Amino acid sequence: MSQVEFAFGAVFTPIRTTVLRAEDKDRLAVGELLASSAGELWIADPRAKALKVFSQDGWPLRSLGRYATGLRRPRSLTALHGRWIAALDGLVPAVAILDAAGHVVRRFPLPELDRPLQLCNLGDRWLAVVGSGWGAGSGKLVHIYTLGGDHVESLFSEPRFQPEAGRPYLAAAGRAIYLGHSQTDSFAVYDVEGRAVLSFPSSESGLTRRIDEKSDFAGTLRGLFATACGSLLALYAPDAGRGDYLYDLYELNGAPIALGLRTPERVVGVEGPLYYSVRPAPDGDTQLRVWKLRFEPGEAAEPAAETAQIAASER
């Protein structure tokens, strides 16, 4: 497959830009972001050990700490039935389900794993939790639960190398999950209802082979995002710790749409056809941008004639 470089702005168009205003001049640490049906922005801030809720205009509304939620270190968020928010505790394996006002309506432990990393909603029927397993989930990476907290199954064996050497990332679209790992070059796609692996894309069409040998980018998978509208986005962060992020965009069947997108924006969440990204803003604030694909998945993405100008405008 030929390698085609795209500017991020040649594939995505910005919809809205908002400044998330810092409280007490403390920089917001955005683990994940969720846009609720009530029009609020929920952020898992593991550094502050709290869930932060903002208005659409970026004003802080409330901060929900351990006393309010029972979560010692909120790490990941997902919506349930359009009216609840499920939050994963990254310190003590547990899930808390909250209503729009931030009140806990249900909480259950996760005894099948000891290193909770990420939470996904699977068709409003199950929750998928990523993390190293033990007990019933020993040696597995992904653990499926009912919305009531009953363990359904654990799947995807941990790589043979030490788990500390990398980590898995999960995305969900409907009742299918997409698993990537920072130490591999392929995705695993799993149909939860049919309990069958749909495909294992080869490294030729998978994660890191698209980086040209002449590229100066060296990075590691740091996120995976899927939309029910038909796209899958893989995020890579530079190994050096500084510089632009790099993205690969795929259709849900694994067909590449656009590869090698560079931007300083870090995508932290998706909602419907929209992608949410953040980057530091002056005075300790955080700039939030909302993006949408410029074309429908399945259409060919055309490199912009003025790619350099578009890339410069994103900075």
Centroid of chain to Cα 89: 16
Mean pLDDT (the chain) is: 83
Residue 254 lies in a domain: yes
Residue 313 lies in a domain: yes
137-174 confidence digits (pLDDT tens):
888 889 999 999 999 999 888 776 555 567 899 999 98
Taking the C-alpha atoms of residue 157 and residue 126, their distance in angstroms, rounded to an integer, is 20
* Half-sphere exposure of residue 260: CA atoms within 13 angstroms, side-chain side: 18
Residue 209 lies in a domain: yes
Asked whether residue 93 carries a pLDDT value surpassing 60, the answer given is yes
Asked whether residue 117 carries a pLDDT value surpassing 80, the answer given is yes
What are the b/e assignments for 155-174, b being 16+ CB within 10 Å? bbeeeeeeeeeebbbbbbbe
pLDDT of residue 297: 65
Residue 153 lies in a domain: no
Band of the pLDDT at 45, cuts 50, 70, 90? very high
pLDDT of residue 277: 96
Asked whether residue 31 carries a pLDDT value surpassing 50, the answer given is yes
pLDDT of residue 312: 40
- The 8-class DSSP code of residue 26 comes to B
Query: Which residue would you say has higher pLDDT here, 239 or 86?
Result: 86
Work out the percent of the chain whose per-residue pLDDT is above 70: 82
Asked whether residue 36 carries a pLDDT value surpassing 80, the answer given is yes
Query: Which residue would you say has higher pLDDT here, 83 or 196?
Result: 83
Please report, for residues 36, 39, 101, 135, 276, the alpha-carbon distance to residue 15 in angstroms, rounded to integers and kept in the order given.
Answer: 17, 15, 27, 46, 10
Residue 212 lies in a domain: yes
Domain of residue 277 covers: 1-10+201-315
Order across the sheet with 104-109: list the strands.
Answer: 74-80, 84-89, 94-98, 104-109
Token pair listed for 274: 């929209």
Residue 238 lies in a domain: yes
Residue 277 lies in a domain: yes
Residue 289 lies in a domain: yes
253-307 confidence digits (pLDDT tens):
888 888 888 899 999 999 988 999 999 988 889 999 999 988 776 655 554 333 3
Taking the C-alpha atoms of residue 170 and residue 228, their distance in angstroms, rounded to an integer, is 14
Domain total for the chain?
Answer: 1
